[in-house]
Amino acid sequence: MKVLVPVKRVVDPNVKIRVKAGGEGVELANVKMSMNPFCEIAVEEAIRLKEKGKASEVVVVSVGPAQAQETLRTGLAMGADRAILVNVEGAVEPLAVAKVLKGVVEAEAADLVILGKQAIDDDCNQTGQMLAALLGWSQATFASKIELGDGKAVVEREVDGGLQSIEVTLPTVVTADLRLNEPRFASLPNIMKAKKKPLEEKSAADYGVSVAPRLKVLATEEPGTRKAGIKVASPAELIDKLRNEARVI
């Protein structure tokens, strides 16, 4: 079984986000970038499936600028076998990414796609679902546990009411949630080995996909300052304010 893992290059989660002075976007110059945390979880899960003998090959793929090679090398250092970079400059919307990934999946004849449920930069949570629809495959989103069987997969999902177990037929698209696993740290020897692993470069045109944006961001603003709280003298006053001012009870 070949497992394909799409990964995204995003601003490092430990970096404080700054909006550009003109409000035309987020400041990315001289900002530390890293692999999207949910993508790391997806890579880890694919590698664990290979270690269990359930997968024969793990291929990481990214749709983004040339600098995304660093992100792919991280996936290779974690244990992936090969990498594919679909070189695209500028922002790419989820639908365009899903169309490119469909081309990659078909070209690679992948049996399973595992990707993060969302990226921490745009929080769209759309690519996995769109990819499954384009491929005509089953899908299991927000996975916290994956068990592969004979031609099927049992996936435990995180839902509002708790946990839900579903069975899907292979091939399938699975989106990884936070509690699926704890990603490993790449060791120095594996980082050195990753430099010699194959990394293929492609373009969106190779898959017959246009990545022209369909949406236009009008403005980007920082969240408003939180208002200061107040102190109350008694529980009775608190109840009165919740009932008559906040109107929540």
The Cα–Cα gap between 23 and 7 comes to: 27
Strand partners, 175: 115
The CATH number given to 2-244 is 3.40.50.620
What value, to the nearest 5°, has the Cα angle with vertex 242 and ends 237 and 247? Answer: 145
Tell me how far CA of residue 117 lies from CA of 52, 90, 111, 189, 217, in angstroms: 23, 22, 19, 30, 23
Enumerate the domain spans of the chain.
2-244
Q: Which of 36, 26, 24, 67 is nearest to 183 (CA)?
A: 36
Helices (H), 19-67: 37-51
- Write out pLDDT tens, residues 177-226: 999 999 999 899 999 999 999 999 999 999 999 999 898 888 888 888 88
Selected residue with higher pLDDT from 128 and 186: 128
DSSP class of 187 = P
Q: What pLDDT does residue 26 have?
A: 86
